[in-house]
Amino acid sequence: MTLAINSKRAITGWLFIAPYILVVVGFLFSPLVYAGYLSVHTFKLVGGLRFAPLENFKHAFSDPLFLEGLKRVVIFGLIQVPIMLGIALFAALALDLVNTRLARIFRVVAFMPYAVPSVIGGVLWGVLFSATHGPIPRFLNTLGFHSANLFATSFFIYLVGNVVTWGWTGYNMIIIYSALQGLPKDSFESAVIDGANQIQIARYVKIPAIRGALLLTTIFSVIGAMQLYTEPSILSRFTTGISNGYTPNLYAYSVAFNNAQFNYSSAISITVAVIVFAVSFGFISLNRKRLLH
């Protein structure tokens, strides 16, 4: 009798999670497996589909457009991620000290850009930066910067960083703020009794206590930087001179749907995924001891 009840419960549990499993298999694992299959094959008009496990990957690491895009997103992440997380951490610490109605309104307002789809955010900022219709260039003109070209190729990466920071700072702030709210208040009271000010409490008590949340936001931000696609894709429509290889994901899309090189595009995508995994795993490994202590 007990065995029958347990079996029925097990079947019921599997039925509840079956839709999730089907979605994950259908929209995550299946595309990954297919992309992996394409990446180890080459297709030519003469000879058709041929198994060549390393040819596409060798091509990727000798492709100057791919390597340039990869270098660009690495530099972008090294600059943009610390700035974004620094702003998010400062805002979260400030909100943790204030519990007024204005602070609650600020939390909602700061989170609102994350609710805006990246495509719409890119179009919005593209219009704001536009030399023809944008209010920002007009404001710069009033300050005497008449020849300022915000869409210049050398300045384009900063526009992308601005849009990404605007859209994701509030999201990271909420994660850090939630971690701060879960900390026990006893440690703060002890620090106050010992004569510590709020800056010292934040530096020596709060920040070390939320290392897990900071690690999580850092990993997510690094992954997002490496997979940069939507923002440069939308902003590039407002200017010229931005190549299809500006980021690895843009290049993979261009190679697949402009040049019909689906095998090579899959190899690029797999390569980026492996690099992101290696960086994330390495970062977690380096910080594991700190999290345990």
Per-residue pLDDT, 255: 95
Q: Is residue 103 part of a domain?
A: yes
Which tokens go with 217?
A: 């936001």
Please give the mean pLDDT across all residues of the chain: 88
Angle of helix 118-129 relative to helix 135-142, nearest 10 degrees? Answer: 30
User: Total structural domains in the chain?
Assistant: 2
Q: Is residue 47 part of a domain?
A: no
Residue 282 and residue 214 share a domain: yes
Residue 279 and residue 140 share a domain: yes
Residue 95 and residue 140 share a domain: yes
pTM (2 decimals)? Answer: 0.87
Q: Is residue 113 part of a domain?
A: yes
Residue 29 and residue 77 share a domain: no
Range of the structural domain that residue 144 is part of: 56-292
State how far the Cα of 135 lies from the Cα of 118, in Å rounded to an integer: 21
Residue 218 and residue 91 share a domain: yes
Q: How confident is the model at residue 204 (pLDDT cuts 50, 70, 90)?
A: confident
Tell me the helix, strand and coil percentages in the chain, rounded to 5: 75, 5, 20
State how far the Cα of 192 lies from the Cα of 175, in Å rounded to an integer: 25
Residue 108 and residue 4 share a domain: no
Contact 81, 218 (CB under 8 A): yes
State how far the Cα of 130 lies from the Cα of 132, in Å rounded to an integer: 5
What's the CATH number where 150 sits? 1.10.3720.10
Residue 111 and residue 5 share a domain: no
Per-residue pLDDT, 132: 78
Write the pLDDT tens digit of every residue in 239-248: 888 888 899 9
Residue 152 and residue 254 share a domain: yes
Write the pLDDT tens digit of every residue in 93-142: 999 888 777 888 888 889 999 999 999 999 999 999 988 778 888 888 88
